[in-house]
Structure 1
Amino acid sequence: MKSLRCLIRARQLCPRERWLLGTEPFKAQACRSLHRRPPAGPPQISSQTSIAPYEDVFDREQRNKESFVQVLELFCNRDVRRRGHIEMIEAALRWMPEFGVQKDLEVYNKLLDVFPKEVFIPQNYIQRMFNHYPRQQECAIRVLEQMENYGITPNSQTRFLLLQIFGDRSHPIRKYQRLMYWFPRFKHTNPFPVVPATLADPIELSKVCLKRIAADRGARVTVYQMPSAEKCEDGAALDNTHLVGIQSPDQVSLLAEHDPGVPVMVEGPHPLWLRKTCVYYYVLRAEPSNKTKEEEVDPERSIYYPLSLDLDLDRDLGDDDTFDVDEVEEGSVFAMCMTNSGDERTLGRWIRGLQETNPILAQVPVLFRLNSGPQELVDPAAKENKKEQEEEEEESGPLRQRMEQ
């Protein structure tokens, strides 16, 4: 009944309001009420002072840490509310390898500082249960995942920023706790750790790589040739690249027992990745021997009366722990070396240097089995020109035969 009375009263008042709005004063007052002043907001930025799109801002000539941090500070000072911070952070993550700051913990903390503070913290258990502000939390997790991919361990400042942005029970905080639990445990598990940074000196880089391949503490590294420039008799400049080799005492004794009538081969280049740097090495080896090892049979051995009986009482007699192993016969490796130029002239100097500690190399023939290395690739344009010349020769071949006839 109350709702019915309210409807009747509203219908009675409608004609009065229409009559009042029909007059000029009330019509002007109604128009003024419709055009209210907009609520206060951030200061409007003119097109002259606004920064360019994020991808264009990062695409600069000077790409270093200072310019990267300068772009982040420019964005933070541009707007108090940090509008567009997700797009800014995602663009920054893509450009970090170009600026060389993908392994800098300070830059990652600067990147987390772009988020607005105390805005995305859940106020009750319902907001916490339904993943409060999911896009922002996923963006922060992507920042932590990139830190994980590059092996960067967070610090206390990272935790303070995440607490200030998302609170103590958010998904980024859980990701941070997992990183801090597993990273210290796996930090020193690798028995052959890789150098943290790529060495600029090619000789030092070759020494580290050869020691890593050999994995023998008694192996001796020898520098046969330093990088230098020489002038030939005709005045042409000749650049001598570095030449570094390694050989262990076991390899020396193995080469001394080698048959002088059987040749040895120099093979390569074989690639080796040291983090993001690819280097190439060469090996001095022999062909695999065709002699098959015959199993010596004990004359006193008997199937029915074994000489010894080894029983493992802790296991069942039906258990079989054996597995098949494919045995691949390979030749013996006598030495290894690294050089920028893998031609026969440079590798010949390596063989002559090995003769000082291995006199048998003066009697053993050496064969070179060299593949096309990275510096011996053919230009695609020259390859196409050569192909066109071959096609022209094939077409003109029958005409020449007819002319000769």
Structure 2
Amino acid sequence: MEDNGVCPDAETDAMVLNIFGRHGFPTKKLRRMTYWMPKFKNLSPWALPEKIPTSNLEVAKLAVQRMGSVDPATEMEIFQTSELRDAIDDTWIVSGQSATQRELLAKLQEKKTVFVEGAFPIWLRRTSINYFILRSDPEPLSEEDQKQRAQFDYDDVSQLRSWILGQENLTRKDIIIEPSVHEQEDGTILAVAVTGTCSKDSLLSWIRFLEKKNPNLANLSILFATNSPLGEVIPAIESSVPVNTVKKITDTSDL
């Protein structure tokens, strides 16, 4: 029952109690399962339906929704490449981007390089699907910020001061803007997407759709570095079982 996620009910408890007694090991095991399994059932913040859909589009929606949950303001959009005039692939694109990510993208300097990276697999129980990210290099910190962050110990509470007693003397150097959840040490995540074919043309279409709400993308240099950790294989096709496939893309002449 535990291996298959079946929670015991009152009838099972009565059967085990009559067979093994109140102090028997099976009874104690069953009561522990009755107590803990309902708690663990809803413990995950990324709850999934009881049955994972077989459609790649529905799986992509679940994947983007899960990845975007780190920022409650993340908006999920579904695009059809057939809406673009020059698109070759007729497929769908599930894109996720928040208002904070749009602000970070708008602040990038002209001609700065951003990267389309992937495909990276994400697992939803026993089903996996590939996703891509739009990433920029991390912004370097100033020397003053580096010194302050190196000297400040968040675990040291010996020097805490109470503002109630008037002992807090803040200066401009004491204020450090905390980076958003999208700004990581290895780069800033600007958007995430899952495409129906994982092909070069579908990624180009994704960038064109993003330009509608992110006009600064037209001023940036976009580099496709889609090296799959699973190797260079054929593009994915729409099927009942998601396939981990991708082509290596390095050409940026179409942008």
Scaled to the shorter chain, the TM-score interval is 0.5 to 0.7
Q: State the 1:242 CA deviation.
A: 2.7
Gap change, CA 1:329 and 1:182, over 3 Å in 2: closer
Cα gap change, 1:239/1:352 in structure 2, threshold over 3 Å: closer, same or farther?
Answer: closer
Give the whole-Å Cα distance in 2 for the aligned partners of 1:290 and 1:358.
23
Q: Give the superposition deviation at 1:241.
A: 3.5
CA contact (8 A) 1:202 1:242 kept: no
Q: 1:289 to 1:277 in 2, by over 3 A?
A: same
Which one has the bigger helix percentage?
Answer: 1
Aligned residues of 1:265 and 1:367 also touching (Cα < 8 A): yes
Please give the secondary structure, in 1, of the residue aligned with 2:37: helix
Report the equivalent of 1:85. Answer: none
Match of 1:223 among 55, 59, 78: 78
Larger Rg: 1
Question: Could you report, residue by residue, the CA deviation over 1:302-335 in whole angstroms, capped at 9, with x for unpaired residues?
Answer: xxxxxxx7469xxxxxxxxxxxxxxx73221111
Question: For 1:244-290, what per-residue CA distance to the aligned partner results, in whole angstroms no more than 9, with x for missing partners?
Answer: 10110111111111112111110001121111111211000112234
Q: Matched residue of 1:240: which SS?
A: coil
Match of 1:276 in 2: 126
Higher relative contact order (CA 8 A, sep 6+): 2
Specify whether residues 331 and 296 from structure 1 end up closer, same or farther in structure 2 by C-alpha distance, changes over 3 A only: closer
1:255 aligns with 2:110: no
- In structure 2, the residue matched to 1:191 is 45
Instruction: Indicate yes or no: 2:57 matched with 1:203.
Output: yes
Correspondences of 1:61-140 after superposition (within 5 Å):
none
Once the two structures are TM-superposed, the CA of residue 204 in structure 1 deviates from its matched residue by: 2.5
Kept in 1: contact 2:81–2:89 (CA 8 A): no
8 Å contact from structure 1 (residues 222, 244) kept in 2:
yes
Letter in 2 for 1:247: Q
Matched with 1:333 is: 189
Match of 1:356 in 2: 212
Alpha-carbon deviation of 1:342?
Answer: 2.0
Distance 2:145 2:229 in 1: 43
Alignment of 1:45-56 (within 5 A): none
Distance 2:131 2:123 in 1: 11
Structure 2 portions without partners, runs of 5+: 83-87, 149-158, 163-183, 235-255
Matched, 1:343 2:199: yes
Counterpart CA distance in 2 for 1:245 and 1:185 is 33
- Of 169-178 and 255-264, more deviation after overlay is shown by 169-178
**Structure 2 length normalisation: TM-score?**
0.66
Distance 1:158 1:226 in 2: 54
Q: Which runs of 5+ in 1 are unaligned?
A: 1-146, 228-237, 299-308, 313-327, 379-405
Q: Tell me, in whole angstroms, the C-alpha distance in 2 between the residues paired with 1:297 and 1:168.
A: 63
Count of aligned pairs between the two proteins: 197
Distance 1:297 1:188, change over 3 A: closer
Q: Is the 8 A contact 1:342 1:373 kept in 2?
A: no
Secondary structure of 2:187 counterpart: coil
Q: For residues 348 and 373 of structure 1, do their structure 2 counterparts lie closer, same or farther at Cα, with a shift above 3 Å needed? A: farther
Question: How far has the Cα of 1:213 moved from its partner?
Answer: 0.9
- The CA distance in 2 between the partners of 1:333 and 1:209, in whole Å, is 16
**Partners of 1:294 and 1:343 in 2: CA distance:** 44
Aligned partner of 1:288 in structure 2 is 138
* TM-aligned CA distance change 1:180 to 1:366, over 3 Å: same
Distance 1:332 1:296 in 2: 18
| Equivalent residue, structure 1, for 2:221 | 365
Matches of 1:294 and 1:260 in 2, distance apart?
26
Q: What TM-score, normalized by structure 1, do the two folds share? A: 0.43
CA contact (8 A) 1:225 1:244 kept: no
Separation in 1, partners of 2:39, 2:73: 31
| Range with greater deviation from structure 2 (170-179 or 160-169) | 160-169
Q: Deviations over 1:197-223 (max 9, x none)?
A: 212232222122112112222211111
C-alpha offsets along residues 130-150 of structure 1, whole Å, 9 cap, x if unaligned? xxxxxxxxxxxxxxxxx2233
Aligned equivalents of 1:185, 1:242: Cα separation in 2: 38
Aligned equivalents of 1:152, 1:292: Cα separation in 2: 55
Output the CA distance in 1 between the equivalents of 2:81 and 2:209. Answer: 13
2:90 maps to what in 1? Answer: 240
Partners in 1 of 2:66 and 2:227 — Cα distance? 23
SS at match of 1:356: coil
Counterpart-to-counterpart distance in 1, 2:132 and 2:147: 41
> Pairwise mapping of residues 154-193 of structure 1 onto structure 2 (< 5 A)?
154-163=8-17, 165-193=19-47
